[in-house]
Chains A and B, each alone.
Chain A
């Protein structure tokens, strides 16, 4: 029996061309299915159409059968609640203040009686092993923990089908693995059918049983899982490519240091733990310097110290470019003030004195020319990042600080970003990037620093860094393939 069955399904938002037409799809019970497709191919729309409560408004045709039942038919309420839905942003799904309240939220909505509720919450918490932080405030959890709480809250509602929309896009690699492992256990141990929409399927192929590709015009088709998995990178092809570029990369490392941070100590409050304890950092002018390290290792804090937004409690941070710097936040929404993309790009026109031609050129370069009249919040995640980046570039910074710039971006958007950063470096700007994305760092960085336990444990040129690491390595992914393709297309100019 199928958990999800589409027959000739189509959907169009009011007054727009159909997102997709004539989709046929069958996901067996107990399957772990991946749904891949380009940004804008309608993955989210498709998933939402399968979840009655949040189905988008528009015209639909054909049929959707969820757990052997039409969403509009009889007895659908019980069935509808047997479908769990996990959104991309872990932050926005959390409703209550403590983990316990959050786990109980769904059950309270269903009107489950208190004794049964206590038992179901206990089971869900035990399944994921989240008892140690059961009473923690949700605001203090990391992104990975938040997403696990979301999953546990849904598990407590005893779903049979789980729909997930880019659930790991906002997580760091370790949190992503933990989350996927939890998902895998739900699938194999409890037999819950899982459908995940993703643009980074490489990390999920080990768990998945099947994959489908959604393509605007061609509908949906089954694709082999092997084609999606990535090889671990290290010695071999990547190094061969790297040595060729290595010669070009080295002169930038002879530049004089423009940022010197020595013995920096920092904590957010007197009763909180040290975030940085004696961190040293030297960033050379005109280079791309990448900061890597686990969650909470102090990468973002380091960027803010460099920017002068935070002051070290002990030690010194010298930044020769502080008057001409810009900081790209993790969430581009922190930068948006205006009602349209055009106003957004022009916001700092008077203060920085760039002309209209520069605005048009920036919009063109980041693919925003058609979206100038739209509200920044109506753009896709990739476009928002592009807009934030363009807005900062218009101020003509000589030092650019980027905090997790690839978070939530698909491979083509990452390539665009990487090309822009290269162009900026060629213009002589210095760039400091804090990221978890090692494959992104591998093609772009001149130097990498690894942060651990409040210190910078090593700073090395990219090649040396990756050839010496045994475990901290990257895998070939969609981005590296797209990057190689765009490089061979003559993107090297």
Chain B
């Protein structure tokens, strides 16, 4: 399990920066993962994304995710040769249809890309919590941000009330539905009650909003829980440079690599290193952070030890 703050959400290196840094990072790795259809790039992306997933959500969760995603990759690998019969290395034939190694490899790569994208999305949603998304949106579309905030408030309220209504109706044993038709009508009734209740409450909510100055000023401002500081600008600039460089290298790598008719041979190339740096950056930063803290704790222990001994 990753480290957790008081609110139960893991603290990450991204917490040191404005949410826009995390947004830029995840947007970049997602685009690169989708664009770079090349085995080494895909392998790096999947490895980094999966390890990142394990770091953010814990090993059990990451293993569970892998348990359904790896079969998806295999299915894509098996299905692709059935649909695209191209390549030069024939493995075997089903009837008149040849199954080639190249299309098999292509299928695996497609599956890996899907897996990487899914994992990066999952990681992004863990780091960019709703309040960060809201803060990001607030700068561009304050009204949308407020609407989202209100919706996020209403959903748990609706769910809770739905449960309450259902419990009450269910507890009245004499009026419990007997037939299937009754049961359907009974479900409908729960929705009716929920609607009536919520409409009624919305009148009071509208009053409460007006009482707190809703629509009283010409321009609504937005509370900014995060400030964009110099360090954020530097992080964004470094990230931008790294992404631009990687985009260029990935373009070279992809244009030199062919799946068909014969898959190009992969060679060791320095150009992969910047991509590895990019995708493993959060993990590296976290490892660095951990080491630094171990040192700080050791120093504190040593200090305590010496001062206790002196006393």
Contact = CB atoms under 8 A, between A and B. Distances in A.
Q: Do A and B bind each other?
A: yes
Interface of A: 51, 53-54, 77, 81, 84-85, 87, 89, 91-98, 100-101, 104-114, 117-118, 121, 135-140, 153-154, 157, 304, 307-310, 322-331, 333-337, 348, 351-352, 377, 392, 395-397, 401
Interface string B140-161: 0010001001101100110011
Contacts of A51: 211
Contact of A337 (B131, B142, B149, B189): B189
Contacts of A89: 201, 204
A325 B212 contact: no
A326 B171 contact: yes
B240 interface: no
Contact of B220 (A84, A108, A330, A352): A108
A351 B174 contact: yes
B217 A110 contact: yes
B93 interface: no
Contact of A352 (B164, B171, B174, B201): B174
Contacts of A331: 164, 197
Interface string B155-180: 01100110011011011111100000
B11 to A, nearest CB: 13
A336 B193 contact: yes
B207 A325 contact: no
Nearest to B176: A351
B255 interface: no
A431 to B, nearest CB: 14
A480 B14 CA distance: 59
Given A108-B222, A307-B167, A87 B149 contact: no
A326 B161 contact: no
20 contacts: A85-B211, A87-B211, A92-B201, A93-B205, A94-B153, A95-B149, A95-B205, A96-B146, A100-B131, A106-B213, A108-B146, A108-B220, A109-B215, A114-B221, A139-B157, A307-B170, A327-B168, A329-B164, A331-B164, A333-B197
Nearest to A153: B212
B193 A111 contact: no
A199 B164 CA distance: 28
Interface string B195-221: 011001100110111111111111111
Most buried by A among B164, B167, B168, B207: B168
A91 B172 contact: no
A121 B197 CA distance: 32
A96 B175 contact: no
A401 B196 contact: no
Contacts of B223: 100-101, 104, 107-108, 114, 117-118, 121
B167 A304 contact: yes
B18 to A, nearest CB: 14
Nearest to A136: B7
A108 B145 CA distance: 12
B153 A97 contact: yes
B164 A81 contact: no
A25 B210 CA distance: 25
Contact of B171 (A85, A153, A307, A333): A307
B173 A95 contact: no
Given A309-B171, A396-B174, 6 more contacts: A53-B213, A81-B213, A109-B209, A329-B164, A333-B196, A377-B200
A333 B204 contact: no
A109 B167 contact: no
Contact of A322 (B157, B165, B173, B207): B173
A309 B167 contact: yes
A331 B165 CA distance: 10
